[in-house]
Every structure is written in structure tokens, then in C-alpha cells.
Amino acid sequence: MKITVIGSINIDLVYDVSHIVKPGETIHSTGYHTFFGGKGANQAVTMAQLGAQVDFVGCVGQDDFGKRALSNLADYHISTTYVGESGVTGNALIQVSETGENAIVLMNGANYHVTPASVKDAEAAIVDAAAVLMQLEIPLESVVAGMDIAVANHVPVILNPAPAQKLSKTILSKVDILTPNESELAILTGMDITTEESIIAACDVLLEQGVKGVVVTLGEQGAYFTDGKESGWVSATKVKATDTTGAGDAFNGALTVGLCKQYSLRKAIDDASKVAGYVVTQKGAQVKIPTDLLPSES
């Protein structure tokens, strides 16, 4: 099972705090950690642990963080043939509160050196994949370049639209599975997302714009999905959250693996929710996944 990730690689600088700092406020951190991160890398590491052969298309800096990030991906047997080295490695400043909530400031760095040309250089990896998973932490034109190659070669496109931004109907029509959370869904559609009915209505708007399937992640409330034929709600695993930083990325990685295994959308979501539920009980965005959470064949 080959999956190609086109996306971001970061180093996460995480500060434990009593609460998320307010404007003008200074607070003390109770702990500090350095973790490997970046939405693309987080998703790739999840998929590699779940049995996928992952090719990564991205860029790190010409610095120690970049060397460490490449070594980390290699430890998970993720191919970095198409990972360039330029500038400064992207990083994220993350606050994690006592309740597990987080606030993140991103510095794009080398992630914005992922150009359409570098994506096209990785065409062989895209064409040979069972699916391509992307996010929006690299330039949008580079995301579109990856989509165009995938669509032309009938490779499914899974897009995690984060950080959120408006996307044209032309772009959305290239997406097989779109995975927004509630706030991203609101930005994508321009709708107020306050009720279950508004979630359903917003997803219908996305389907009308050409997206083939939508999975809305709702944190501890689970997920809503629709592909125009089947729709429904999937409950989340009840856990005590320690750090929610990598939950969405783990969900997207596990969802993609499930879909590549030809699971139904509902089963792929259920398995992905279990993986994400475990990840939030651990520190950091790239968590070692226990074997009992590996996708089943039933």
C-alpha cells in the first residue's frame, strides 16, 4: 500500500501552561518539550505505523532541525527522496493547557519552498500511489499541482484543509475526501456552524461544489460524514485528553490507510477515531501507536 504525502515538516516547540495566554498577559510555563511535527509529517508517521509505504514530498531547512526531521522520517521508513533542503526548517510554537487545549503559532520556513516544480518532480511517486494526502501548510499552488497530477492519473485525493482558507470550486472539484473540522467547514462554506443541521447543510454545499466526500471532525463529539449516497455520525472514543496537538493529523493518516484498504467510509472513520483518541492521551504530535489499534481486516 503506497501513499504519497505532499506537505509540511516542522519542529514543534511545546510549552505546558495553566491556560492559553491572553493578549497582554505573561504567564509561566510549567514545562517545555521539543517534538517532531508538521501536519504532513504527522500524518505520514501515523500511516507508516499502520503499515503504509509512504513517500514524502516536502522541504526542510539547511539546519540542525532539518537534519533531525529527515532522520526521524527515516526511522519510520518514510521515503524522503522528494524532500528538498532550503532555508530554515518550519517550526511551531505551541501552548498546551492543563485541560489539553492548544494554541499554535506557525513559522512556515522551508515548507514554503515546496514549489509546483518540486511537486512535479515527484510525479512518479504520485502516479504510483493508492492515494495522495495533502494539507494547506505549503503554498496552495503546490497543493493544486499535486492534485492535478493525481486527478490526471486517477489517484484519489484526500485534503485536510488546514490551516483553513477559502478554496475555489475548481480546487474543491479535484478532491475525493475533504476533512475539515467545524471552524474550517465554516471558512470553506461561509456558513455559521452551530448545530448538527448546519453541519449537514454545509457538507451538502461542498458536495454541490464538486467534493466527492466530506468527513467533518468534531473532536470529542466524533465525526459526521457524507458522500452523497451515505451519511451519518460516528462517535469518538471517550478518553482523558492530555495534548490534542496531533489528533487531527493522526485521524487523517489513519482514515487514509483505511480507505486505501477499501474499508467503508464509516469503518475507516471509526478506526481513525480510535487512533486519534489514543494520540490525545499522549504528549506530542507523533505518537507511537500501540499494536491493538492497528486497523483490523473485518
User: Could you give the CA distance from residue 285 to residue 236 in angstroms, rounded to a whole number?
Assistant: 19
Rounded (5°) CA angle 117-118-120: 65
Does the annotation mark 249 as catalytic? yes
Largest CA distance in the chain: 53
The closest of 137, 141, 135 to 118, measured between CA atoms, is 141
Contact present, 10 and 111 (Cβ < 8 Å): yes
Q: How many CB atoms lie within 10 A of CB 6?
A: 29
Distance linking the first and last C-alpha atoms of the chain: 18
The closest of 42, 230, 245 to 133, measured between CA atoms, is 42
The closest of 186, 249, 255, 253 to 215, measured between CA atoms, is 255
Of the listed 12, 55, 176, 249, which one is catalytic? 249
The closest of 104, 96, 92 to 16, measured between CA atoms, is 96
Please list the active-site residues.
249
